[in-house]
Copies of this chain bind each other. A is one copy, B any other.
Amino acid sequence: MAFKYSRQREAIKEYLLHTKEHPTADIVYMNIRETYPNISLGTVYRNLNLLAEKEEILRLNGMDGSDRYDGNTDPHYHFLCKNCRRVLDLDMESIEHINDIANKNFPGKVEGHVTYFYGVCNNCE
Residue positions of A touching B, CB distance < 8 A: 61-63, 77, 79, 81-82, 88, 90-93, 95, 98-99, 101-102, 104-125
Contact = CB atoms under 8 A, between A and B. Distances in A.
A101 B95 contact: yes
Given A102-B79, A105-B91, A116 B114 contact: yes
A111 B119 contact: yes
A116 B99 CA distance: 10
Contacts of A121: 107-108
B119 A112 contact: yes
A125 B109 contact: yes
Contacts of A82: 111
A109 to B, nearest CB: 5
